[in-house]
Amino acid sequence: MSADGLLELADGRQFAGRWLGEPPRGRVVGEVVFNTALTGYQEICTDPSYAGQIVVLTYPLIGSYGAAPAWCESAAPALRGLVVHQAEVASHGDAAMELRDYLGAHGVPVLAEVDTRALTRCLRDRGTEVGVLHAGDPLADAVRREVVQGFSLAGIVDSVSTQASYVVPGDGPTVAVVDYGLKRGIVDELSRRGFRVVVLPSTARVDDLRALHADGVVLSNGPGDPQDLAGRLDLVREAVEHYPTLGICLGHQLVALAAGGRTFPLKFGHHGSNHPVRDEATGQVDITSHNHGYAVDGASLPREYRVRFTNLNDHTIEGLAHVRRPVITVQHHPEAGPGPHDAARIFDEFATYVRDSREGRTASHA
């Protein structure tokens, strides 16, 4: 490790560490969140939902199995910075490189030797804050306020979305996936079920969706405030009114907004792979992977939606189901990456919706 480093929160609290690799050039500003997963740091780093954020890993030993292309959830790291307690040397046979080298190659700074326990307690007590990673002396109060006030996540979804449509071949029905910050694991789960997947950019319009003649629609995960996409809800309404639809994380929130519901920011978000979620239809409890800073306000939902999943930690809504249409949403990540695979059955349920709908259309034209 080389130069001394500092994470300063918006309220002036400071957490010192040492850079793992090269220090950042200038100041790195982001929303500081903590993740409680024990493994899966590379999947976390490459999850586009972390765009614009500085991620604090609560597990104290990070890097022991290195990094490899096969463990990525997107083409490059999405987060702005990583904060860890102790950095380990890779000792895994499949590792292609050290985590520090992987992140360093993409210009993502890593601050190690930080008291991540104290930092996490601060975020839990005070809530998510904007922070600044930098080398050198602490910032003057006026400078820090100026830097923090200039931070915004507006437009962050389009920065991580594909810019052009592409196809992942399959022999089964066609599923359109709207990429608001899509994880590779979602496409993998759809491909495992035989679907032909067409990925659309976040800027896709209703006519783009109609032109595909798809058999189902997936609204993906993504970063930022769902309210920032309030001007794009026509496509979401088109999906839920005319196609079997699965909304995941941000996609879940957009379905709620399109139905006239509201969302609100959580105090410090849900970030980890160990959150218990109850399926209200069966009573089954799944341990699930989470990464979101907003939740749906249940009191704002229209009657045609019922709560399908509930978070057992804070009782926030973890998913919805339409009472008549083949529409299901989840706030958590059924594709995991990282995390347990308890919730992968959501993809099976969606696959049943798609095939039943397709068979129904075929029979009606016979």
Nearest to 323 by CA among 355, 357, 277, 281: 281
Cα–Cα dist 319/306, whole Å: 9
The amino acid sitting at 261 is G
The reply to whether 72 belongs to the active site is no
Cα-based angle 218, 170, 180 (whole degrees, multiple of 5): 25
Q: In 10 A of CB 341, how many CB atoms?
A: 15
Tokens 């016979």 identify what position?
366
Q: Say whether 31 is catalytic.
A: no
Concatenating the DSSP letter of every residue in 117-177 gives HHHHHHHHHH--EEEEEESSSPPPHHHHHHHHHT---TTHHHHHS-SS-EEE--SS-EEEE
List the structure tokens of 19: 């850079």
Active site residue 333: yes
Token pair 């989840």: residue? 330
Q: Which of 31, 129, 318, 335 is catalytic?
A: 335
- The C-alpha atoms of residue 341 and residue 345 are separated, in whole angstroms, by 8
CA–CA separation, 104 and 45 (whole Å): 12
Contact 50, 56 (CB under 8 A): no
Task: Say if CB 142 and CB 15 are below 8 A apart.
Answer: no
Contact indicator for 192, 229 with CB cutoff of 8 Å: no
Q: Which of 249, 271, 318, 322 is catalytic?
A: 249
Strand order in the sheet with 327-330: 166-168, 196-201, 174-179, 216-219, 245-248, 327-330, 317-322, 305-311, 262-279, 285-297
Catalytic residues: 249, 333, 335
